[in-house]
A and B are shown apart, each in its own frame.
Chain A
């Protein structure tokens, strides 16, 4: 159990707790403290079209009741980020809705989920290829 990824533990906790998510992407923060689930609309993410996201953040399978979230994205191979600042709203405990996301060019993007808790930012990230 100690070596089990947090996302697996989170999935078990969700199943056992009867609390499920419909979000189709799941990842751990880079320091393995938080679990992030997300989905986009439309899906897959289109090129140069605005899209929205729903995001859930859990710790040990429990949705966060405190803290904040910032969502951003960049193309590290091209050394730039998005040319729009997304609008992020909390919709409930551990849940956020993100608008005005825009991947303005095709290629390799990285999505960043920065969870701010007690003066510390914990990042989760996922590589996305858009074409």
Chain B
């Protein structure tokens, strides 16, 4: 949509000198206030009357802010809300990534109609994530199809732009989209770590950015906002906002990496999306990870942020998660910012790190955006399923003797890095399991299917196409060989036999707090089922037949609390390890939920070694 006239009155603002200043920009980097305690906000927009709309995703709802009052959540019938834009009549166009359509919504939450359907034809989407309204057209980041879809606001298809790839006019996971003042399409091309600019007809005009953390480089940009003569980008994994000129010259970068979770007050943490007020004097940064929206005003040249930029406590601050695998000795965790797999020996009194596998960039074996990892002790193979590069990397480890652990950066050796059959959309795979005969099961959420691969990673079957709606995790039951599939779309847990036939379905609506945003799934040796839910910040334990046994956790950052728990595993001593992703740590419990340990890449706490103040532990 056309952005309001703004910022021109601010051009006299002094230069902000922290990063790069190619010219005197007007800045909106002064922290003013925030809304916290939201439920995973993903997008926001101002309406023309200055009211502010926040879209929450867990559970799905919208809030209307008429400053300073904020409405209670208004429930909306949306499976996985994503991007938002506002039409000229102040109606909302909200992407429902889970249902593969755009919901046209009145500001009271009433859905007026839906636009688009699931697929890859004209006017169809596969897990779209953002929309820009421009005149009577919608420009949609059709993320799962790696393209841009243009439609009329009546839903009539106009054109599709781009294919999957790294060339000009191609995309890998386009997450954000906007139209600039020169009528150009601007796209946050996340897995290419760049911004692409195209004409409204889809002709590539310019692009900039590549992976990295230096100013001007990008790590999985998630949104773009075009404001007059500048382009603002949420540089998500660099935890900052960067401003560029229309041709890609870096003007300013701010927000920077948070020293610790919950820091806020101008420090941003996994920024998802941006919005600007009608008068152009307030910028909103939406941070789903922090359940928060921060508001920024015009730059204050006299303000100096005296807070430290390095961790206040000793030890490596690692983002730690969100995916994990383990056997009776080794635990492997994906560290997204560093693009590293961290390998721990978890059988020591406190887990110790044996090595880290770093492999950056798009060269052979380079890591992108991991979806799953699998450690096979007998074969001495670590498989990393990489959505970003659509590759599967296989490493062997030169593990030390158990009684003589040592840290060795050279411990891992890349064996192979391979593309899968074109029939397997590796870039849409979100989880993987290895079957007893040595084959593979790969979960594709966007199409709700499980791809069955043989030991050579060749496709042999597909399961669940008529069963699954919005699956989010799979795991194998070691006792039965059954595959368990956690499905947010049907709020249930499906049990499939070794031929993929459904044998049971367990409804999960009755869980305490409901099933809101499930993220992890594991099975203990006795058949009990563990589920982590980032929406309720809880871990649930069920008997193998689905009877609820116990739940523990609440939102917070002291021990036994979680902030968006993610991967979950159970070791051979029935200890439950939960990746407490939002607190940058892992916590260990017994099956009843009794806290045993908290640990990260450079620290560990046990009941006999609690920090003096739990909140200091961060």
Binding site for B on A (CB under 8 A): 29-31, 70, 72, 76-77, 79, 108, 110, 112, 114, 116, 119-123, 125, 127
Contacts and interface: CB of A to CB of B under 8 A. Distances in A.
Contacts of A72: 363-364
Contact of B415 (A77, A79, A119, A123): A123
7 contacts: A116-B364, A121-B364, A121-B365, A121-B414, A122-B415, A123-B364, A123-B415
Nearest to B338: A79
A107 to B, nearest CB: 12
A77 B416 contact: no
B396 interface: yes
Contact of A120 (B358, B396, B416): B416
B418 A121 contact: yes
Contacts, number: 52
A114 B358 CA distance: 16
B110 interface: no
Interface in B339-383: 358, 363-365
Contacts of A120: 416-419
Contact of B410 (A30, A77, A119): A77
Interface in B415-446: 415-419
Contacts of B363: 70, 72, 114
Contacts of A29: 415
Contact of A70 (B364, B413, B415): B364
A114 B415 contact: no
Nearest to B396: A30
A74 to B, nearest CB: 8
Which 5 A-B pairs have CB atoms at the shortest separation, nearest pair first?
A: A114-B364, A76-B409, A121-B417, A121-B364, A31-B415
B427 to A, nearest CB: 15
Nearest to A33: B416
B63 to A, nearest CB: 43
Contact of A119 (B396, B409, B414, B419): B419
A57 to B, nearest CB: 14
A114 B364 CA distance: 7
A121 B416 contact: yes
Interface string B520-549: 000000000000000000000000000000
A116 B363 CA distance: 11
Given A121-B416, A123-B365, 15 more contacts: A30-B396, A30-B413, A31-B394, A31-B416, A70-B363, A76-B358, A76-B410, A110-B410, A112-B414, A114-B363, A116-B364, A120-B419, A121-B364, A122-B415, A123-B415
A70 B419 CA distance: 17
Nearest to B411: A76
A76 B358 CA distance: 8
B418 A119 contact: yes
Contacts of A31: 394, 415-416
B178 to A, nearest CB: 34
Nearest to B395: A30
A75 B419 CA distance: 27
Interface of B: 358, 363-365, 394, 396, 409-410, 413-419
A121 to B, nearest CB: 4
Contacts of B413: 30, 123, 125
B415 A30 contact: yes
Given A30-B396, A114-B364, A114-B365, A123 B416 contact: yes
Contact of A79 (B365, B409, B419): B409
A79 B316 CA distance: 15
A70 B417 CA distance: 13
A42 B364 CA distance: 26
A120 B409 CA distance: 25
Nearest to A114: B364
Nearest to B409: A76
Contacts of A108: 410
A116 B418 CA distance: 9
Contacts of B409: 76-77, 79
A125 B414 CA distance: 9
A116 B396 CA distance: 19
A112 B394 CA distance: 15
B360 to A, nearest CB: 8
A6 B413 CA distance: 18
A119 B424 CA distance: 14
B454 to A, nearest CB: 16
A79 B360 CA distance: 10
A30 B418 contact: no
Contacts of B365: 114, 121, 123
A70 B415 CA distance: 15
A76 B365 CA distance: 15
Contacts of A76: 358, 409-410
Nearest to B358: A79
Contacts of B414: 30, 112, 121, 123, 125
A112 B419 CA distance: 20
Contacts of A121: 364-365, 414, 416-418
B387 to A, nearest CB: 17
A83 to B, nearest CB: 13
B463 to A, nearest CB: 25
A112 B417 CA distance: 13
Contacts of B396: 30
A30 B365 CA distance: 13
Contacts of A127: 410
Nearest to A113: B364
A119 B421 CA distance: 9
A86 to B, nearest CB: 11
A16 to B, nearest CB: 28
A120 to B, nearest CB: 4
A112 B364 CA distance: 10
A127 B413 CA distance: 11
A103 B416 CA distance: 25
Contacts of B418: 119-121
A72 B363 CA distance: 9
A79 B363 CA distance: 16
A50 B180 CA distance: 46
A122 B396 CA distance: 13
Contacts of A123: 364-365, 413-417
A30 to B, nearest CB: 5
Contacts of B364: 70, 72, 112, 114, 116, 121, 123
Nearest to A72: B363
A79 B335 CA distance: 15
Contacts of B394: 31
Contacts of A112: 364, 414
